[in-house]
Protein backbone atom coordinates (compact mmCIF):
# COMPACT_ATOMS: atom_id res chain seq x y z
CA UNK A 1 0.00 0.00 0.00
CA UNK A 2 1.35 3.41 -0.95
CA UNK A 3 1.14 6.12 1.68
CA UNK A 4 0.72 9.81 0.92
CA UNK A 5 1.70 11.87 3.94
CA UNK A 6 0.08 15.26 3.36
CA UNK A 7 0.04 16.31 7.00
CA UNK A 8 0.74 20.03 7.27
CA UNK A 9 -0.41 20.68 3.72
CA UNK A 10 -3.29 23.14 3.33
CA UNK A 11 -6.32 22.83 1.09
CA UNK A 12 -6.26 21.76 -1.69
CA UNK A 13 -2.78 20.29 -1.13
CA UNK A 14 -3.74 16.88 0.31
CA UNK A 15 -6.23 16.25 -2.49
CA UNK A 16 -3.74 17.34 -5.16
CA UNK A 17 -1.09 15.01 -3.71
CA UNK A 18 -3.61 12.14 -3.68
CA UNK A 19 -4.64 12.78 -7.29
CA UNK A 20 -1.01 12.76 -8.41
CA UNK A 21 -0.35 9.40 -6.74
CA UNK A 22 -3.59 7.85 -8.03
CA UNK A 23 -2.79 8.88 -11.61
CA UNK A 24 0.50 6.96 -11.38
CA UNK A 25 -1.01 3.93 -9.60
CA UNK A 26 -2.15 0.59 -10.98
CA UNK A 27 -5.80 -0.50 -10.95
CA UNK A 28 -6.49 -2.33 -7.70
CA UNK A 29 -3.70 -0.60 -5.80
CA UNK A 30 -4.53 0.79 -2.37
CA UNK A 31 -3.48 4.27 -1.31
CA UNK A 32 -3.36 5.59 2.25
CA UNK A 33 -3.66 9.37 2.58
CA UNK A 34 -2.72 11.09 5.84
CA UNK A 35 -4.11 14.61 6.15
CA UNK A 36 -4.34 17.20 8.90
CA UNK A 37 -6.48 19.50 6.73
CA UNK A 38 -10.10 19.41 8.01
CA UNK A 39 -11.48 20.19 4.54
CA UNK A 40 -10.14 16.81 3.41
CA UNK A 41 -13.03 15.19 5.29
CA UNK A 42 -15.36 16.76 2.74
CA UNK A 43 -13.16 17.01 -0.36
CA UNK A 44 -11.48 13.59 -0.50
CA UNK A 45 -14.63 11.41 -0.30
CA UNK A 46 -16.38 13.61 -2.86
CA UNK A 47 -13.48 13.48 -5.33
CA UNK A 48 -12.92 9.74 -4.85
CA UNK A 49 -16.60 9.01 -5.60
CA UNK A 50 -16.69 11.34 -8.62
CA UNK A 51 -13.48 9.82 -10.01
CA UNK A 52 -14.87 6.27 -9.71
CA UNK A 53 -12.50 4.97 -7.05
CA UNK A 54 -13.43 3.28 -3.76
CA UNK A 55 -13.05 4.86 -0.33
CA UNK A 56 -12.84 2.04 2.20
CA UNK A 57 -12.39 3.91 5.43
CA UNK A 58 -11.66 7.22 7.08
CA UNK A 59 -10.03 6.98 10.50
CA UNK A 60 -9.04 9.72 12.88
CA UNK A 61 -5.60 8.60 14.06
CA UNK A 62 -4.96 11.49 16.44
CA UNK A 63 -6.62 14.78 17.34
CA UNK A 64 -5.60 16.45 14.07
CA UNK A 65 -4.88 13.67 11.56
CA UNK A 66 -7.16 11.51 9.42
CA UNK A 67 -6.28 8.47 7.33
CA UNK A 68 -8.20 7.71 4.13
CA UNK A 69 -7.85 4.28 2.50
CA UNK A 70 -8.66 4.33 -1.22
CA UNK A 71 -8.56 1.66 -3.92
CA UNK A 72 -7.76 2.77 -7.45
CA UNK A 73 -10.52 1.51 -9.74
CA UNK A 74 -9.55 3.00 -13.10
Q: Of 42, 38, 62, nearest to 50 (Cα)?
A: 42
Which one of 5, 11, 41, 65 is the catalytic residue?
11
Q: Let me know if 58 is a catalytic residue.
A: no
Q: Half-sphere exposure of residue 20, counting CA atoms within 13 Å on the CB side?
A: 10
Closest C-alpha to 15, from 39, 28, 72: 39
As annotated, the active-site residues are 11
Amino acid sequence: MKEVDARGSYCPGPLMELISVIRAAEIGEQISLLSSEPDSLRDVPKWVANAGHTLHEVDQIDESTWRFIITVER
